[in-house]
Each structure stands twice: as structure tokens, then as C-alpha cells.
Structure 1
Amino acid sequence: MEKSYMSVFLLLVALSCTLAKEPPKKETKGPKDTKDTKETKPKLPQTLSRGWGDHLHWTQTYEEALFRSKTSNKPVMIIHHLEDCPHSQALKKVFAENKEIQKLAEKFVLLNLVYETTDKNLSPDGQYVPRILFIDPSLTVRADITGRYSNRLYAYEPSDAPLLLANMQKALNTLKTEL
């Protein structure tokens, strides 16, 4: 009886060891032989831009953005978005590909957030994405610079690129008249 238990035990150990091993990797013969193997690119570390404009200088935190705004006398542009939101992804694509927006964005202290801040001034009409707010160097949220929607004042869609560009210019022009 003990021999049969021992045999079953050894069989289970051997079976579990066999199942725990990784399957053998397929060798590829060259770049043309890609039918049987999946090509995976190494994942690059995510930059602070998160794809909104890699050549632009982005700040890491809300507090850093406010500090840089105050010391450089530049307005802050905060983009609230989510990586898995199709609306955020569509706006990001337009933002990153629009040369005028990218050029004008260089004149701002930039921050994109994929999380909510504790500052309730950054969600005056709710916590939705994507939304873009402007803050002047006196650290005042610009409630007068809004998108075209009455129920989501700071929302922009890809088709709103001209309005976003105009609002960016408005944030900069107001700053110049205050100097």
C-alpha cells in the first residue's frame, strides 16, 4: 500500500515539474520568418509627455507646475486625461500632430495628469476627461477660458483644435496685457 502511495506521489511531483517548465522558444531564421513568432518591441519608459508632445518640456507634479509658472511668469496648461479613454486618445493624437498647437505649447508650463489632484479648483464643474484648464502666473484658474460645451466647460474634442488654439492664445494674450 505504501508503495502505491509513493508511486502516486512521485507521479504527481513529476507531472507538476513538467507542467511548470516554460515551453521551448521558437528560433527565428531571420527577419523574413515572422509567421510563427510574434515580434515584440521593447517597451520604452514613458516620458512625462505621455505622447502629447515629446519635444515639449513637461512638469511632473501640479506643485512643480505652479512653482515654474510663478518663477517664469508663464501660464500653466493642465491636461486631465486617461490612457484608456478613447476621447483622451483622440484628443492627444490631434494635439500631438497639430504643429501650431505644439509651437504655442512651448510658451506654457505644461502638465498632463492621469489622476485627479486634491485641488478642487481644477475640477470646477466635475471630474471628467479629457479637460484642459489654464492657470495664470498669479496662480488663478482661468474660468473665462472654456471649451464649447455648457455641461463640460473645459472639455475639448479633436474637432475643437481651432478653439483650443484660440484659447491658448487668449491665455498668453491676457498675460501680455497684464504686464
Structure 2
Amino acid sequence: MMKVALSVLLFLVAMSSAFGKYMPKTGKRIPETLSRGWGDQLIWAQTYEEALYWSRSRNKPLLVIFHLENCPHSQALKKVFSEDNEIQKILDEQFVVLNLVYETTDKHLSPDGQYVPRILFVDPSMTVRADINGRYSNRMYAYEPSDVKILLSNMKKAQKLLKSEL
């Protein structure tokens, strides 16, 4: 009788641990990718240091997006950015891409302050392209959803590298 009770107890413990995995109330969650919704098909660098290495080794300019997940301006730009096929194609073929929800220690990436959304270009020579900016004088590297043509134009400017030989 003792062996039966012990067997049942072990069975119950095994079953509770097997089915005891936490499941969110909203159901199964999709794992977050490095794209954070800015272009899931693109290969995104994980850190600024990794992005600089890729940029230099592949001789491609780096596009850095600073944004916040709960910022309505970032969300609006992200929607237009991720749905524009031309932007996505150029980024996939010609750029190294990185999006950050935090500031880096490199002060060159905030030449006119820390605000979001902000898009900067970095040359493979590791020079921040402060000469490539948007249309606003008080937020020089900010883009709005209506600024897609300006962003595309700036992406083409960034493709003209400062130093072609590294």
C-alpha cells in the first residue's frame, strides 16, 4: 500500500512540473527580435560596437535609429519606415542597421541633443555624418512620417562614403 501511495505521489509531482509552465493570459507571445518592428527581414546589429565593426568590415554606411517603444512619434515613423519597400530594399543591400531604445556613450551620436525619433548615419571610417540631416533646425536628425522622401535622399547621400579605401 505504501508503494502505491508513493508511486501516485511521484506521478502527481511529475505531472505538476510538466504542466506547470507559465503561460501568459494573452496566450503565446512572439519573441522580440532586434528589429523591434522597423523591418523584420533586415539583419540588425545588436550593439553600437557590433554595428561599427560590421560597417567597417563590409565598407557600408551605418544607419542608427534612436527611438522609444511608447513614443507616438517613434511609432508613427516606424510604421511608415517598415512599410516602405524602397527604404527596406536600400537598407538591406547598402547599409548596416541598428536601432536603439537607449543612448550610447558616444556623444557624437547626439550632436544637437538627445531626442527621439532620431536617425543618424555613420561612415565606415567611423565618422558620424553630421552633415546629413532632416528638415528641422531645432531637431536636425528628426524625421516624421511625411519626411520619407528626405530620408531616402539622405540615405543616398550617406552611400557616398567619405573615404572609399579603409
**TM-score, with structure 1 as normaliser:** 0.75
What are the ranges of 5 or more consecutive residues in structure 1 without an aligned counterpart?
A: 1-38
Partner of 1:152: 139
Q: Please give the alpha-carbon distance, in whole angstroms, between the structure 2 residues aligned to 1:41 and 1:54.
A: 22
* Cα root mean square deviation, aligned: 1.5
What are the ranges of 5 or more consecutive residues in structure 2 without an aligned counterpart?
A: 1-24
Matched, 1:101 2:49: no
Deviation at 1:103, TM superposition (A): 0.5
**Matched ranges for 1:168-179 at <5 A:** 168-172=155-159, 174-175=160-161, 178=164
Identify which of 105, 123, 126 aligns with 1:136.
Answer: 123
Say if 2:123 and 2:162, in contact at 8 Å, map to a contact too: no
Q: Please give the alpha-carbon distance, in whole angstroms, between the structure 2 residues aligned to 1:161 and 1:154.
A: 13
Identify which of 28, 33, 48 aligns with 1:47.
Answer: 33
- Whichever residue aligns with residue 59 of structure 1, its letter is A
Matched, 1:65 2:65: no
CA shift in 2, pair 1:41/1:166, >3 Å: farther
For the pair shown, the structure with the greater C-alpha radius of gyration is 1
Q: Please give the alpha-carbon distance, in whole angstroms, between the structure 2 residues aligned to 1:169 and 1:59.
A: 21
- Whichever residue aligns with residue 114 of structure 2, its letter is Q
Q: Please give the alpha-carbon distance, in whole angstroms, between the structure 2 residues aligned to 1:113 and 1:45.
A: 17
**Matched ranges for 1:1-80 at <5 A:** 40-80=26-66
Q: Please give the alpha-carbon distance, in whole angstroms, between the structure 2 residues aligned to 1:94 and 1:75.
A: 22
2:57 aligns to what SS in structure 1?
helix
Say if 2:109 and 2:128, in contact at 8 Å, map to a contact too: yes
Residues paired across the two proteins, number: 140
1:164 aligns to what SS in structure 2?
helix
- Following TM superposition, where does structure 1 have runs of at least 4 consecutive aligned residues deviating by more than 6 angstroms? none
